[in-house]
Copies of this chain bind each other. A is one copy, B any other.
Amino acid sequence: MENKTLSQIEETFILHWGQMGVQWGINRTVAQVHALLYLSEEALNAEQICEILNVARSNVSTSLKELQGWGIVKKVARMGDKRDHFESLHDVWELARIILNERKKREIDPTREVLQQLASAAESDADTSADTAKRLKEMANFLDVSTTWFDRMNRMPPAALKAFIKLGGPGKSP
């Protein structure tokens, strides 16, 4: 089991991706593991990932679990090897679609529900000003409209979505 080393370029990408992740509220190691698997042509096992990234085995385990939970990394079996191997989705469009959708499901949707409840409760709440009630309603409505739009985009076949974005949506500007 030889230690496959990274080129300077690969290393830079992985480190940058990790930084990026942190800014978006994603654990650095999770982002790095993902970056590594994204670049890697063949599936890697947990041990290899530790060695390449120089992070603790436990972190890799947790990160892989997280990435699998998002559906962007999958286990693959290898003949004659008991250990699990992991590979990432390699289609960037599909990756983006899944990541955005997962974050929406986990973070936006619950917020939307809370806001809807608050907005409707605020209407008849003596302690809450009509003005606050209005703003809550506007925010709730905004989330509603924009998530509905997102869902629609999300349901498009990948190729169609890609074409739509490339075309520029509403009609291209000069």
Asked if B142 and A93 make an inter-chain contact with CB atoms under 8 angstroms apart, the answer reads: yes
Asked if A168 and B149 make an inter-chain contact with CB atoms under 8 angstroms apart, the answer reads: yes
A138 to B96, CA, bound (A): 12
- Copies of this chain present in the complex amount to 2
Select one of B7, B16, B168 contacting A114, CB under 8 A.
B16
* Residues of B close to A115: CB separation below 8 A: 13, 16
Majority SS at the chain A contact face: helix
- Residues 120 to 174 of chain A near chain B (Cβ within 8 Å): 121-122, 125, 127-129, 131-132, 135-136, 138-139, 141-142, 145-146, 148-149, 152-153, 155-156, 160, 164-166, 168-170, 172-173
Asked if B169 and A155 make an inter-chain contact with CB atoms under 8 angstroms apart, the answer reads: no
A38-B135, A152-B173, A160-B170 known, 10 other contacts, Cβ within 8 Å: A8-B125, A9-B121, A10-B128, A10-B132, A23-B107, A92-B138, A92-B139, A96-B146, A145-B165, A155-B173
- The answer to whether A135 and B39 touch (CB under 8 A), given A152-B170, A168-B152, A170-B153, is yes
Asked if B13 and A125 make an inter-chain contact with CB atoms under 8 angstroms apart, the answer reads: no
Residues of A in contact (CB 8 Å), total 55
Instruction: Decide yes or no whether A80 CB sits under 8 A from chain B.
Output: no
A153 to B164, CA, bound (A): 13
